[in-house]
Structure 1
Amino acid sequence: MPIAGSPAQAAPFATQAGGAGLTRTQTVELQSKVDDLIKQYPGSRQVSANKIAAKGFDIVVQAPGQKAGQDLAKPATKLALGCNSGYLCMEVGGTVFNLYACQTWYATNWYGTGEFVNNQSPGTVASFYTDGSGALRWTSTAYEAGHFDATPIGSVRPC
């Protein structure tokens, strides 16, 4: 089986990225971002030009020219952040994180303002912790949506 970032792995996704209007340079830049995330989240795998998935979560990487991450394998929608039932979804720095599994997820390079949708079972509380100390920063009770300051968020627990 090809490893992420190998020519055999990247070729179909490069074709997909090109079909979405990305130049070769933009495609290489996007693949580099995807490869970096795969290294950060062991067990994850690339499933489209700008999406990785693993048990309990998926991440959609912002492609060059996008305002927010939107899976290049799917037709464009007007919603900046769609969120399936049962998920806590966040957009930070253009990358979309869709968390499902009830565990602590560690964040890297989360800065600035982000968007979130807590579309879990009603009453489920998601907790956001600071970078480093792990102190509770804020919580969100499902259903809730809005914007948040991601500086600094070091980890998230969706349940």
Structure 2
Amino acid sequence: MQRIAIAIAIASLAAAAAQAHVVLEYKVAPAGSYYKASFQVGHGCGKSATRQVVVQVPDAVVSAHPQPKAGWTVAIDKAGERATRITWTAKGDADKLPSDFYDEFQLMAKLAAEPATLYWPVVQVCDEGRAEWTQVPAAGQAASDLKSPAAVLEVLPNEGGGHKH
């Protein structure tokens, strides 16, 4: 009986860990639309607070503009006019995200006109350690098989209902 209880506890921890990745709030969007990417950070690195979140912008994103966050600075790396990486960094110790709390880091993205699966690698830097949510599945591999999957967005064909500029 004790073995069953231990197996259930281990399975529960594994399920909780699977839910602990940095993920996008909305996982689908129409091609050619503006999309609010909200990266949900559900924990730190073990008990260590998060002090920085770095998001790689997929090549199929035409433009990306981060939302400012109180207590955090925002840096935008660009290739020409296009944002390629966005970094939020806590200004001080009081601004860091404690491991027991959840927060979101947001940006507005203009998506390309073609449907695609977009992977958004995210690096979470903590006071002690880091979590690299950067793995992309190989052909035929399920994202659920990965230990540290990148956030994923399915860009669907635009049926004319999306907001375009």
Structure number with the higher helix fraction is 1
Q: Which has the larger radius of gyration?
A: 2
Q: TM-score, normalized by length of structure 2?
A: 0.30
**Bigger RCO (CA 8 Å, 6+ sep):** 2
Q: TM-score, normalized by length of structure 1?
A: 0.30
Structure number with the higher strand fraction is 2
